[in-house]
Amino acid sequence: MGKKGKKEKKGRGAEKTAAKMEKKVSKRSRKEEEDLEALIAHFQTLDAKKTQIVETPCSPPSPRLNASLSAHPEKDELILFGGEYFNGQKTFLYNELYVYNIRKDTWTKVDIPSPPPRRCAHQAVMVPQGGGQLWVFGGEFASPNGEQFYHYKDLWVLHLATKTWEQVKSTGGPSGRSGHRMVAWKRQLILFGGFHESTRDYIYYNDVYAFNLDTFMWSKLSPAGTGPTPRSGCQMSVTPQGGIVLYGGYSKQRVKKDVDKGTRHSDMFLLKPEDGRKDKWVWTRINPSGVKPTPRSGFSVATAPNHQPLFFGGVCDEEEEENLEGEFFNDLYFYDATRNRWFAGQLKGPKSEKKKRRRGRKEEPEGVSKTQGPVEVVKEVVAEDGTVVTIKQVLAAPGSVGQPQSEDEDSSEEADGPVPGPCPRSNAMLAVKHGVLYVYGGMFEAGDRQVTLSDLHCLDLHRMEAWKTLVEMDPETQEWLEETDSEEDSEEEVEGAEGGCEDEDSAEESSAED
């Protein structure tokens, strides 16, 4: 009884501390948000001049990260919305809407009157009702000088059948935030976590909200049990059993004045209704077996055809004082909720190559191992300004998906040239349609330079043979500006404000947080 009382008292104390911190952040950021609201209103006025729907065939979208990519529930289409692009001086934010036709391999830009304001690090969830609805919540906008941030708390729905945006206004919802996660669970949207940042303060959340798609009402959930600590950028997926799994994420805390320490979380939790009720939930800490992902942030998630959550890429930042070195990934992991087990996604390789390897087996010289470790593929890309960017891609040895390799398949394979597929990256956009995984954009770092991507790749998750590149990375889109000409600052700020701006440090942090 005494222990329980202490725990409850400690819990109430933590809640009070969090409430005080949120109030402090809210007070300091109120003035900043008022300034940015005026800027956002200005751009909404410009968007309001669009009075009709215009669909324009176009080339693939420009490089970006922290956008959303969603599969149309009825058509063979992928829908790309929002995102950001950093060129070394400014971060441009978007509210453009692009549609990729899978069968025709074509892109179309769709201009719709009164769209949501420009944003990145939002969440977009597709539901099949009414010919398809794309629900968008939150995200962030940045000021031209990159020192102020506005976190949205608005909820929008894109009606795909009529190609119209609608802002859904309902009280009692989450506070402004970005880097949160949201999933569709039955006839509800379930939202968790995220963060809010102002010039001097920041706060991470671990609250849970539900939005009812029938009543259009928000409700704050208070799950029983011990749940995740506050964080952003985690994995959140619905399991075939009807629960919601949450893995990893990122948070930071101030260890002393002007010094923050980031944490890459690697714990995992299950959120599910208690006794089958929709209004009462419970958290459970789970410890999966199998091949677990290494700790990282900035990874991307989707759901495989068998309702297994999948996990792609990310970055592991090594923080040493003011230096930040990142190791980027392009590996793939699956979580089997039925067995509570992680396993790595390994490619089998094209069938034609496997047959050749079988036929040539007897001719292999002695001493050659039948198994091969990771293969490193190095590719150099020359940007428009002449800068050579070297991309190192480490490829796992071919094998079956999370299972021992069969005896008739020889895994030895020579790297005759660059292997198609996405290079290591973080903050990419994922979508799955007809059992095929699509990976678009994202970013990686080459020294002090951030490379934002616009390539598109796909992988058949049923066959797991090889990646197919649909859009190559275009070197001409890689712009990098080292210094700002102070005489042109005033003019460039107005131009840059169209997308919002962020300095280099905050762009690096957003890779983890968003």
pLDDT higher than 90, residue 203: yes
| Number of domains the chain is built from | 3
pLDDT higher than 60, residue 113: yes
Does the residue 7 lie in any domain? no
pLDDT digits (tens, 9 = 90+) for 122-163: 999 999 999 999 999 999 998 766 677 899 999 999 999 999
Distance between CA atoms of residues 271 and 222, nearest Å:
11
Residue 13 or 109, more confident: 109
pLDDT digits (tens, 9 = 90+) for 423-452: 999 999 999 999 999 999 999 998 888 999
Give residue 39's pLDDT band: very low, low, confident or very high (50, 70, 90): confident
**Shared domain check, 185 and 258:** yes
Of 139, 169, 199, the one marking the end of a domain is 169
The region of weakest confidence among 92-106, 321-335, 434-448 is 321-335
Q: What is the pLDDT of residue 306?
A: 87
Do 281 and 272 touch, CB atoms closer than 8 A? yes
Distance between CA atoms of residues 151 and 119, nearest Å:
9
**Shared domain check, 314 and 245:** no
Distance between CA atoms of residues 445 and 506, nearest Å:
14
Q: What is the pLDDT of residue 377?
A: 53
Does the residue 468 lie in any domain? yes
Do 500 and 510 touch, CB atoms closer than 8 A? no
Does the residue 437 lie in any domain? yes
Distance between CA atoms of residues 430 and 71, nearest Å:
9
Q: What is the pLDDT of residue 69?
A: 98
In percent, how much of the chain has pLDDT > 90? 57
Distance between CA atoms of residues 254 and 262, nearest Å:
9
Which structural domain range is residue 150 located in? Answer: 27-169
pLDDT higher than 60, residue 279: yes
**Shared domain check, 255 and 139:** no
Distance between CA atoms of residues 189 and 182, nearest Å:
7
Q: What number is the average pLDDT over the span 101-122?
A: 97
Distance between CA atoms of residues 170 and 168, nearest Å:
6
Q: What is the pLDDT of residue 43?
A: 84
What's the chain's average pLDDT? 81
Does the residue 181 lie in any domain? yes
Does the residue 228 lie in any domain? yes
